[in-house]
Structure 1
Amino acid sequence: MPAESDDRATPRPPRGRGVAAIALIVVVAGIVYGVDQLTKALIVQNLVEGSIQPLLGDLVQLHFVRNPGAAFSLATGMTWIFSIAAVAVVGFVVWYSRRIRSLLWAVVFGLVLAGALGNLTDRLFREPGFARGHVVDFIQVWGFPAIFNVADVGITVGMALFVILVLRGVGLDGSRRAPEPRADSAAASEASAASDDETTRS
């Protein structure tokens, strides 16, 4: 017998949404990646490494550094490992994007893809060598302990949206599962029904 449908799940969107989702991934990734590479090029051309240029007073400053580690200047000295990890992330996002039907999930995948590609480009093609290149970081926010770039912002925002969508029960296909009924409410309903039944019998 076919499995009964789950009434708590919202109807799945038509398959045509898959094309729109993939297109949105490409657009989001292209825009964020382009901004990331453009800003890095401008920083390298116009600032001396180590220099600090106020952007919004002391709140936001441009602080040009070359980062051999992970996002937010973490784990320096492990550039080649992060290069391999970035390639794996890009491959996973590209492969898994075929399942995307939700436009919100498309934004998540686009942001993460752009962030991974942006920093991977630096690691592959910047000094000191292929797969060992240092990532250009330049955004420093007052009170935040690390210097970062647009690619890092893309990854962070993408992962924040990822957590929100998971917590809200939004599937990759756009369907959304309603929360399960609370056990205490179900027990109270059963107790009330039993009480009514006893009253009727008496």
Structure 2
Amino acid sequence: MHGARSWRGARLVVFWVICVLAVLVDQVTKAAVRASLIPGQPQEFIPGVLELSFVKNTGAAFSIGEGAGPVFIVFAVVVLAFGIWLVWSHDGLPMPLVVSVACVCGGGVGNMIDRMFFGYVTDFFATTFMDFPVFNVADIFVTVGIVVSVILYLVMVDAPASAAEASARTGEAASTGVGDRQDA
């Protein structure tokens, strides 16, 4: 039992470190954008690829749900609570999943802070090589966390079936005598 508690402690430490780092990086970059850029006046960052363009987003990802800030704040709190519960209560949770959940939670909190203090989310990365909504560091954390979580889920769902199949094949090999050494 002691091992499970120490593993839980390690998961929680990793979760909180990543979550806090995501919020810090997100908030520092947004503060820099608010201090140095003027909305509607993009600055070239990586020529032909990316520009910095200060956008006040009152919606969610890709400006969906304009003006529904309070709903998104509640949603972010629910996601954070779910993430904490998941990491705390599931002793067998693999560390990569802990990291991906922390990324989602940290990004969600970063955008929630903007909504609570400014009434909008500060977006600033604008792709110039393709038409794509303006986004921020929190959005990157959320997107990467969700993509990694989905991939891990698909791998974990498939893994038990593969393990069962391998076990069945091993059992068949043992019953047929395949691989048994016969000294005559």
Provide the TM-score with structure 2 as the length reference.
0.80
Q: CA RMSD in A?
A: 2.1
8 Å Cα contact 1:169-1:178 kept in structure 2 = no
**Map of 2:21 onto structure 1:** 31
**Map of 1:111 onto structure 2:** 103
**Of the two, which has the highest radius of gyration?**
1
Per-residue CA shift, 1:80-104, capped at 9, x if unaligned?
Answer: 2212211211121122220244211
Number of equivalences:
162
In the aligned structure 2, how far is the partner of 1:34 from the partner of 1:144?
28
Offset at residue 150 of structure 1 (A)? 0.5
Offset at residue 178 of structure 1 (A)? 4.7
In the aligned structure 2, how far is the partner of 1:28 from the partner of 1:87?
17
In the aligned structure 2, how far is the partner of 1:165 from the partner of 1:110?
14
In the aligned structure 2, how far is the partner of 1:21 from the partner of 1:178?
26
8 Å Cα contact 1:33-1:151 kept in structure 2 = yes
- Among 130, 133, 157, the alignment partner of 1:143 is 130
- Among 168, 177, 181, the alignment partner of 2:160 is 177
The 5 Å alignment of 1:65-144 reads 65-100=55-90, 101-126=93-118, 133-141=119-127, 142-144=129-131
Q: What is the letter of the counterpart of residue 50 of structure 1? A: G
Question: Which sections of structure 1, spanning at least 5 residues, go unmatched?
Answer: 1-13, 127-132, 171-175, 194-202
**Map of 2:179 onto structure 1:** none
Identity of aligned residues (%): 33
Question: Which sections of structure 2, spanning at least 5 residues, go unmatched?
Answer: 177-184
**Map of 1:168 onto structure 2:** 155
Q: What is the letter of the counterpart of residue 114 of structure 1? A: G
Consecutive aligned runs of 4 or more in structure 1 exceeding 4 Å deviation: none
**Map of 2:180 onto structure 1:** none
In the aligned structure 2, how far is the partner of 1:77 from the partner of 1:97?
32
Q: What is the letter of the counterpart of residue 34 of structure 2? A: V
